[in-house]
Amino acid sequence: MAVEARFLGPSRPQTLATILAVSGGEGTGDPQRLFKGVASLSSATLGDVSFCESRSYAKALAESRAGLILVTADLASHVPSSALVVVCASASLAFGQVAALFHPPRRPAGTIHPSAVIHPDALIGEGTEIGPMAVIEAGAQIGRDCMIGPFALVGAEVVVGDGCTLHNHCSVHHAVLGKGVVLHAGARIGQEGFGFAMDAQGRFVTAPQLGSVILGDGVEVGANSCVDRGSLGDTVLGPGTRLDNLVQVGHNVRTGRGCVLVAQVGISGSTNLGDYVSLGGQAGVSGHLHIGSKARIAAQAGVIKNVPPGFEMMGSPATPKLDAMRATLALQRLGAASRRPSKPDAD
Amino acid sequence: MAVEARFLGPSRPQTLATILAVSGGEGTGDPQRLFKGVASLSSATLGDVSFCESRSYAKALAESRAGLILVTADLASHVPSSALVVVCASASLAFGQVAALFHPPRRPAGTIHPSAVIHPDALIGEGTEIGPMAVIEAGAQIGRDCMIGPFALVGAEVVVGDGCTLHNHCSVHHAVLGKGVVLHAGARIGQEGFGFAMDAQGRFVTAPQLGSVILGDGVEVGANSCVDRGSLGDTVLGPGTRLDNLVQVGHNVRTGRGCVLVAQVGISGSTNLGDYVSLGGQAGVSGHLHIGSKARIAAQAGVIKNVPPGFEMMGSPATPKLDAMRATLALQRLGAASRRPSKPDAD
Amino acid sequence: MAVEARFLGPSRPQTLATILAVSGGEGTGDPQRLFKGVASLSSATLGDVSFCESRSYAKALAESRAGLILVTADLASHVPSSALVVVCASASLAFGQVAALFHPPRRPAGTIHPSAVIHPDALIGEGTEIGPMAVIEAGAQIGRDCMIGPFALVGAEVVVGDGCTLHNHCSVHHAVLGKGVVLHAGARIGQEGFGFAMDAQGRFVTAPQLGSVILGDGVEVGANSCVDRGSLGDTVLGPGTRLDNLVQVGHNVRTGRGCVLVAQVGISGSTNLGDYVSLGGQAGVSGHLHIGSKARIAAQAGVIKNVPPGFEMMGSPATPKLDAMRATLALQRLGAASRRPSKPDAD
């Protein structure tokens, strides 16, 4: 299916020369040849740029009618002769860079919608666009060239760096955001964490949550995800860290740079992640743990112990990946061996 | 407990004749006998219609004081003599149909609240109601007889079919909605998916997310659930597909018709579901998989391989249900056999 | 790191006498000695009050430069001599109480923002503050001294007790809230549950969801969490029950008092929880079950059977904790024993 022109508007044609320059790829052809758009392998036509980053799409690659295909070197020989081959270090990276030429992201318009409620003490940087029904509270400081979407809430004294995008319905309190931070729709930043103690009468007493949230440059938080503020001290997401949708980050969690938390991950309070830690979808990490840099936690894993740097963990409770795979295999054998039980299994 | 009249308003009394006609059930009695409302087995009185759809409620059925009870044939003999028995093919379906007689859903009023912000280029169909603080952006097309709730956002160029309900605080971008679609509070449709690649300097570069979302007729999306738009091509939910609350659907996912995703399910990018696939609560499916029609995935299962049509899968990683049950049983036996370990287990 | 003064404003200095009185702790020193604030063990200086509630922080305790440290009796001997020791029954409870002296929670201002949309039939109690862009529908009754945040929606006929806090972007329908209820940002209370039946043509027909939600005194619901209203009868959260972020509570669920549901927990419809039940993060409970009082469900557990009072359950499917730990251990041994399989494991 071709790119949905209804939402994107017309694409901006690009020359081969520009495509090669931006992608850093290598290919041969008329530098002035124009391409009109980008498309997937199966929907592209001769005027389109496409890409293939995995052998598992080799069939679609071989059958593609795209005019130019970005690939890594190992896939170059599979590109059909109708297409110009451009070899890149990373086809998906190159495609992203090239696609942004055809469909540059919308720039902030520098306008403030009359329905927005902006406290007179708030500071709004030059070029920043504020959408309908946004609320900016007292003392908030928003940098230059930001986009603040409809129904976004920037709480009192919050600091938003230059070039941030706060999508619709998100809310930010008690937080300092670096440059280029993106909060997707409905993200919740800086609310009270889950902290309380039981008194002598068996009632829960809320502990004041006195800390804040610090989001490093380029942090992205997915739709409807939650990052609680610190109880004492701060909750910190390091530069470039990306959270998918519906992720939960508890109070006082700290991550290094470039961590990746896939959808529905949960990190309990006071846990520390190093740099470039990745967590698969629905994985959970208990509180007060240390997860070493470049550790990789599989989807649905449940981490209840510290994880050394670089370890791959799997299962609930999580163990090193190879152990988890062996245990799973052993269990499946054991189950198979019990196929003729003395009493029949229910179904 | 009786139905909460505070929120529903008075119920509209119905005759036995109407109840039989609408439910398609069979029962004997004065066709003009009036019933005043609906209630659960335990709270119903002689003027109420109730229902029982499962033997596990046989005791409540036998003790009920309801005036009319909708049941399947196998439960008819358990209905107390004080109640009129109406036998239906599906008691829960019949009860839903009958309950809607007593408490018809509110119809759109055709009014537009003065606080709503509607772009002059947007098209709003006849009979459509737009609530306070809604925002409708440029080029949006909303069909007839829709209800757009408070704080709902309909993004630029979005198409909403006739008879849709967009509840409060939901947001829709880059999307085309069929007829009778329901988005519950805080649902997020059409935001950017989780797509990026790492550049040579170790920084993540966002891949433009150029696709859109297509929701078929009658699709329902639960509160605070998220459906990302396609990266290239579209994310598609087939007609009648229903998502419960807090569900995550990644970019380029496609489902057939009538799929059911229970709360907190997550589907990773580019996975395809056939028709009438069901996923239990908190189940997860990896990306780029095919799940065959009528497959049933158990709660908390983790699917990492393609699933043939009609298969029932269970466990993490998911295996066919019978295998998973055998493995679980074998494991429990193994654990029990280790009850006197050489060193005591911690607790 | 010191408490973030930017968001909290200056702390209010407190005397030792007040600290002892409020915490109920025991300690010796000049009753008029003033402390200026609260801080974590590692960031506190001589003017600060800190606390230690666990031996796992013994090192940080021994090295702390705090002026006063709240501890339980067993940790008193580990407090450095530079600090005044105050011994309490619960250090975290005492610290919460003391921290609230230095940083009292903001009180409602009794003001109504001019941008709020309040139906003329709604009743608003004295002292209640209503923030920008809030919407209060017809017939809603809001008690005294409440705080209604920006973009909050209080639906028609909803009752909100005295002293409640409804944070930004939350929505409440078909619900009666007791006193001191707290709804965090984006919480969804009272939307339709996930109820439908398939008709003879294979289409899903929504069952009218006729019940409501009752939240007891002091209930707290976390950010972006969802509590569906009852289908018939009500969904009920007992007094003092606390839900963390992104929790799902299905229709007709009932909890006793003081239950604790950690982030991303899901409870299916019609399940009953006793008093003081706790569920760890990402745990799930099937529908129509009974979970006895003081039962403890571990993180990521999947409960598919009734649980007696006081039981600790673990695993998916959940079994008693000791059984689950034995099974896990047995499985790990089994996996280890298979380390030299006849064909190599994939990695």
ipTM: 0.95
Q: Which residues of C touch A171 (CB under 8 A)?
A: 168-169, 185-186
What confidence tier does C223 reach under pLDDT thresholds 50, 70, 90? Answer: very high
Q: Does B311 touch chain A (CB under 8 A)?
A: no
Q: Residue C347 and residue C345: Cα distance in Å, rounded?
A: 6
DSSP bridge partners of C176: C159, C214
Q: Does B299 touch chain A (CB under 8 A)?
A: no
Q: Write out chain C in H/E/C secondary structure.
A: CCCCHHHHCCCCCEEHHHHHHHHCCECCCCCCCEECEECCCCCCCCCEEEEECCHHHHHHHHHCCCCEEEECHHHHHHCCCCCEEEECCCHHHHHHHHHHHHCCCCCCCCCECCCCEECCCCEECCCCEECCCCEECCCCEECCCCEECCCCEECCCCEECCCCEECCCCEECCEEECCCCEECCCCEECCCCCCEEECCCCCEEECCCCCCEEECCCCEECCCCEECCCCCCCEEECCCCEECCCCEECCCCEECCCCEECCCCEECCCCEECCCCEECCCCEECCCCEECCCCEECCCCEECCCECCCCEEECCCCEEHHHHHHHHHHHHHHHHHCCCCCCCCCC
Nearest CA in chain B to C314: B347
Q: Which residues of C touch A321 (CB under 8 A)?
A: 347
Alpha carbon of B229: minimum distance to chain A alpha carbons (Å) = 11
Which residue among B117, B203, B266 places its CB closest to the CB of A133?
B117
Tell me the two tokens of residue A237: 């997401």
Instruction: With CB atoms and an 8 Å threshold, state whether B204 touches A341.
Output: no
Which residue among B56, B103, B224 places its CB closest to the CB of C224?
B224
Average pLDDT of chain C to the nearest whole number? 94
- What is the distance between the terminal CA atoms of chain C, rounded to a whole angstrom? 42
Instruction: With CB atoms and an 8 Å threshold, state whether C103 touches A210.
Output: yes
Alpha carbon of A211: minimum distance to chain B alpha carbons (Å) = 27
Q: Does A156 touch chain B (CB under 8 A)?
A: no
Instruction: With CB atoms and an 8 Å threshold, state whether C3 touches A210.
Output: yes
Report how many Cβ contacts below 8 Å link chain A to chain C: 190
Biggest CA–CA distance in chain B, Å, is 81
Alpha carbon of B341: minimum distance to chain A alpha carbons (Å) = 19
Identify the pLDDT of residue B337: 83
Is the Cβ–Cβ distance between C174 and C155 less than 8 Å? yes
- pLDDT for C149 beyond 50: yes
Q: Which residues of B287-322 are buried (b: 16+ CB within 10 A; e: fewer)?
A: bebebbbbbbbbbbbbbbeebeeebbbbbbbbbebe
What DSSP state is assigned to residue B112? B
Q: Residue C51 and residue B241: Cα distance in Å, rounded?
A: 52
Pairing of strands B196-198, B204-206: antiparallel
Identify the pLDDT of residue C2: 44
Which pairs count as long-range contacts for C293-300, CB under 8 Å and 24+ apart, including other chains? C293/C256, C298/C324, C299/A284, C299/A286, C299/A302, C299/A304, C299/C262, C300/A284, C300/A300, C300/A302, C300/A316, C300/B300
Instruction: With CB atoms and an 8 Å threshold, state whether B244 touches C197.
Output: no
Is the Cβ–Cβ distance between A243 and C51 less than 8 Å? no
Nearest CA in chain A to B314: A347
What confidence tier does B334 reach under pLDDT thresholds 50, 70, 90? Answer: confident
Instruction: With CB atoms and an 8 Å threshold, state whether C96 touches A207.
Output: yes
Q: C188 vs A149, C185, C222, C223, C257, CA distance in Å?
A: 21, 9, 10, 9, 21
Q: Residue B108 and residue C93: Cα distance in Å, rounded?
A: 50
Alpha carbon A314 to chain centroid, angstroms: 21
Q: Which chains touch C (3 or more CB pairs under 8 A)?
A: A, B
Q: Does B341 touch chain C (CB under 8 A)?
A: yes
Alpha carbon of B1: minimum distance to chain C alpha carbons (Å) = 5
Which residue among C169, C208, C284 places its CB closest to the CB of B299?
C284
Q: Does C293 touch chain A (CB under 8 A)?
A: no
Q: Does B334 touch chain A (CB under 8 A)?
A: yes
Q: Which residues of B touch A244 (CB under 8 A)?
A: 194, 248
Q: Does A272 touch chain C (CB under 8 A)?
A: no
Q: pLDDT (tens digit, 9 = 90+) per residue, C199-215?
A: 988 899 998 899 999 99
- pLDDT for C340 beyond 70: no
| Helix/strand/coil for B95 | helix
Q: Residue C44 and residue C65: Cα distance in Å, rounded?
A: 6
Which of A209-218, A265-274, C165-174, C326-335 comes out lowest in average pLDDT?
Answer: C326-335
Which residue among A133, A195, A329 places its CB closest to the CB of C133?
A133
Amino acid at C123: L
Choose, out of A121, A172, A188, the residue to mutate when testing the contact with C (most C CBs < 10 Å). A188
Q: pLDDT (tens digit, 9 = 90+) per residue, B276-285?
A: 999 999 999 9
Amino acid at B68: L
Catalytic residue, candidates C167, C174, C251, C290: C251
Tell me the two tokens of residue B284: 């997860």
Is the Cβ–Cβ distance between C275 and C292 less than 8 Å? no
Is the Cβ–Cβ distance between C243 and C283 less than 8 Å? no
Choose, out of B151, B169, B183, B191, the residue to mutate when testing the contact with A (most A CBs < 10 Å). B191
Pairing of strands C226-227, C248-249: parallel
Mean pLDDT for B100-129 is 96
Q: Residue B89 and residue B26: Cα distance in Å, rounded?
A: 10
Is the Cβ–Cβ distance between C34 and A242 less than 8 Å? no
Is the Cβ–Cβ distance between C196 and C205 less than 8 Å? yes
Which residue among C234, C282, C331 places its CB closest to the CB of B1?
C234
Q: B275 vs B91, B230, B292, CA distance in Å?
A: 24, 20, 8
Nearest CA in chain A to C99: A208
Length of chain A: 347
Alpha carbon of B284: minimum distance to chain A alpha carbons (Å) = 8
Instruction: With CB atoms and an 8 Å threshold, state whether B347 touches C208.
Output: no
Q: How many CB atoms lie within 10 A of CB B100?
A: 17
Q: Does C328 touch chain A (CB under 8 A)?
A: yes
Q: Which of residues 108-137 of A touch C (CB under 8 A)?
A: 117, 133, 135
Which residue among B56, B246, B336 places its CB closest to the CB of C226?
B246
Which residue among C174, C246, C288 places its CB closest to the CB of B7?
C174
Tell me the two tokens of residue A176: 């300092």
- pLDDT for B3 beyond 60: no
Tell me the two tokens of residue B121: 């280029």
> Would you write out chain A's pLDDT as a tens digit for each of its 347 residues?
344 678 988 899 999 999 999 999 999 999 999 999 999 999 999 999 999 988 989 999 999 999 999 999 999 999 999 999 999 999 999 999 999 999 998 899 999 999 999 999 999 999 999 999 999 999 999 999 999 999 999 999 999 999 999 999 999 999 999 999 999 999 999 999 999 999 988 899 998 899 999 999 999 999 999 999 999 889 999 999 999 999 999 999 999 999 999 999 999 999 999 999 999 999 999 999 999 999 999 999 999 999 999 999 999 999 999 999 999 998 888 888 876 544 444 44
Nearest CA in chain B to C156: B7
Is the Cβ–Cβ distance between A175 and A213 less than 8 Å? yes
Identify the pLDDT of residue B4: 64
- pLDDT for B141 beyond 90: yes
Q: Which residues of A touch C245 (CB under 8 A)?
A: 188, 191, 194, 226, 228, 248
Alpha carbon of C118: minimum distance to chain B alpha carbons (Å) = 10
Q: A39 vs A70, B117, B209, C252, CA distance in Å?
A: 12, 35, 11, 47
Taking only Cα atoms into account, the Rg of chain A, rounded to an integer number of angstroms, comes to 25
Pairing of strands A135-136, A117-118: parallel
Report how many Cβ contacts below 8 Å link chain A to chain B: 189
Nearest 5°: phi and psi at B107? -95, 150
Q: Which residues of B touch C329 (CB under 8 A)?
A: 335, 338, 341, 345
Is the Cβ–Cβ distance between C147 and C129 less than 8 Å? yes
Q: C336 vs A57, A148, A297, B191, B335, CA distance in Å?
A: 36, 54, 20, 45, 15
Nearest 5°: phi and psi at B191? -70, 165
What DSSP state is assigned to residue B20? H
Domains and CATH numbers, chain A: 5-102 (3.40.1390.10), 199-325 (2.160.10.10)
Q: A249 vs A313, B284, B289, CA distance in Å?
A: 19, 20, 28
- pLDDT for B342 beyond 60: no
Q: pLDDT (tens digit, 9 = 90+) per residue, C126-140?
A: 999 999 999 999 999
Taking the complete model, does pTM exceed 0.90, yes or no? Answer: yes
Identify the pLDDT of residue A10: 87
Q: Write out chain A in H/E/C secondary structure.
A: CCCCHHHHCCCCCEEHHHHHHHHCCECCCCCCCEECEECCCCCCCCCEEEEECCHHHHHHHHHCCCCEEEECHHHHHHCCCCCEEEECCCHHHHHHHHHHHHCCCCCCCCCECCCCEECCCCEECCCCEECCCCEECCCCEECCCCEECCCCEECCCCEECCCCEECCCCEECCEEECCCCEECCCCEECCCCCCEEECCCCCEEECCCCCCEEECCCCEECCCCEECCCCCCCEEECCCCEECCCCEECCCCEECCCCEECCCCEECCCCEECCCCEECCCCEECCCCEECCCCEECCCCEECCCECCCCEEECCCCEEHHHHHHHHHHHHHHHHHCCCCCCCCCC
Residue B142, C-beta contacts closer than 8 angstroms, at least 6 positions apart: B122, B123, B124, B125, B128, B136, B148, B154, B160, B164
Identify the pLDDT of residue B345: 44
Q: Which of residues 207-266 of B touch C (CB under 8 A)?
A: 218, 220, 222-224, 240, 242, 244-246, 258, 262-264
Instruction: With CB atoms and an 8 Å threshold, state whether A244 touches B194.
Output: yes
Identify the pLDDT of residue A336: 82
Alpha carbon of C34: minimum distance to chain B alpha carbons (Å) = 44
Q: pLDDT (tens digit, 9 = 90+) per residue, A281-317?
A: 999 999 999 999 999 999 999 999 999 999 999 999 9
